[in-house]
Structure 1
Amino acid sequence: MQDKDMVNDVLSMVNGSLSGYASAISQTENEQLRQTLQQIRNNDENCQYNLYKVASQKGFYKPASQATSQQIQEIKSQFNA
């Protein structure tokens, strides 16, 4: 397996776990458990960002182009309507 495939697989797994944490956090009533899940999620987000930086530096990942100010305003207006 090539480095690119391994990094992409790990990024995919971390992204999936982040979705799971978001769901669990929103449904957890116990404050201590909620804080623990949030801490785990935060650690995974940091891991994801570090992997993204590695993938980007090695040319494994090319982010989408930056949105224009007009595009940002259009999206904002859709959510504020």
Structure 2
Amino acid sequence: MLQDKDIVNDYLNGLNASLKSYAGYISDANNVELRQTLIQLRNGDESRQRTVYSYALQNGHYKPAQPASQEEIQQIQSELTSGQ
């Protein structure tokens, strides 16, 4: 029998996969109405993902990685802006 943690993590994985797919679908959509619909669907999934993530965090089903240091953040910002 599936545990609450398993169900939550499976749902989060599904939401994360769909969110990654939306970027390609939206950028490829030539029809304005289709593009807008995909954006709305993505926004709904982002909202659901945040809700499920918060639930998982509060119930100990997920432990996030350590926050990046200020030095790491500055290094990434520097790398991203120098490549433009």
Superposition TM-score, scaled by structure 1 size: 0.96
Aligned length: 81
5+ residue gaps, structure 2: none
* Cα displacement (A) at 1:20: 1.4
| 1:77 to partner: Cα distance | 0.8
The alignment partner of 2:21 has SS state of helix
For 2:21 and 2:71, the matched residues in 1 are separated by 33
Between the two proteins, what is the percent identity of the paired residues? 49
Deviations 1:21-78 (A, max 9, x none): 1110010011111000000000000000000000000001011111111110000111
Could you list the structure 1 runs, at least 4 aligned residues long, displaced by more than 4 angstroms after superposition.
Answer: none
Over aligned residues, Cα RMSD in angstroms?
0.7
Uncovered stretches (5+) of structure 1, i.e. residues with no partner? none
- Aligned to 1:60, the other structure's residue is in SS state coil
Counterpart residue type for residue 59 of structure 2: K
